[in-house]
Amino acid sequence: MHSLEPPRSKKRIHLIAAVKAVKSIKPFRTTLRYDEAITYNKSNEEKEKYTEAYHKEVSQLIKMNAWETDKYYDRNSMGSKNMISSVLIFNRKRDGTHKARFVARGEIQHPDRYDPGMQSNTVDHYALMTSLSDISSACLYADIKEELYIRPLPHLGMNNKLLGLKKALYGLKQSGATWYETIKSYLIKQCGMDEVRGWSGVCSKIVK
């Protein structure tokens, strides 16, 4: 008895096999959580390097006065609009350097706590101005105007406390724009540069 199903061409068979192969591939993550990088890391060498990167990141944040270090706030007494969740991300760069980054979860940031117009108008300029120079922890040089409180990481055992945020921590919706305004003000007021007319975000200075 002949099958009523039409015969499949070789091209169709190969296409189906290719689709199945792609679906079977598990997504590859380039970043690790705290528990993956340190707590349950089976490689002592990797664990040591990630721990060193973690302490370096925390030291830099404290040095840059990213938050108020002399006061903690009760989580239950703060409105949800002012609270920002945080996450610690670990990864290994292409040159083999182990990196830790404490970031704010801007994707769930309340829209009343940043200026959407300012963000969209200046992010491109921020990228343009910093593309020629690598400034370490650039956003931490910028002060934020909004009243924001960030949640410490769970492993610190401060689940009911909040930190008063002072700097434009990476991950905030307004970080790029706030840094742009900071570096622009510095270049104009401190370095005597002028913003190029018709090319917002680019400053120049004629040296005789």
Domain ranges of the chain: 30-194
pLDDT single digits (tens) 21-30: 766 666 556 7
Which residues of the chain register pLDDT less than 50? 119-132
**What pLDDT score does 29 carry?**
60
**What pLDDT score does 105 carry?**
86
pTM over 0.75: no
CA angle 155, 158, 161 (to 5 degrees): 145
Residue 148 near residue 165 (C-beta atoms within 8 A)? yes
Alpha-carbon Rg of the chain, whole angstroms?
A: 24
Q: What b-and-e string marks burial along 22-52, b requiring 16 or more CB atoms within 10 Å of the CB?
A: eeeeeeeeeebebeebbeebeeeebeebbbe
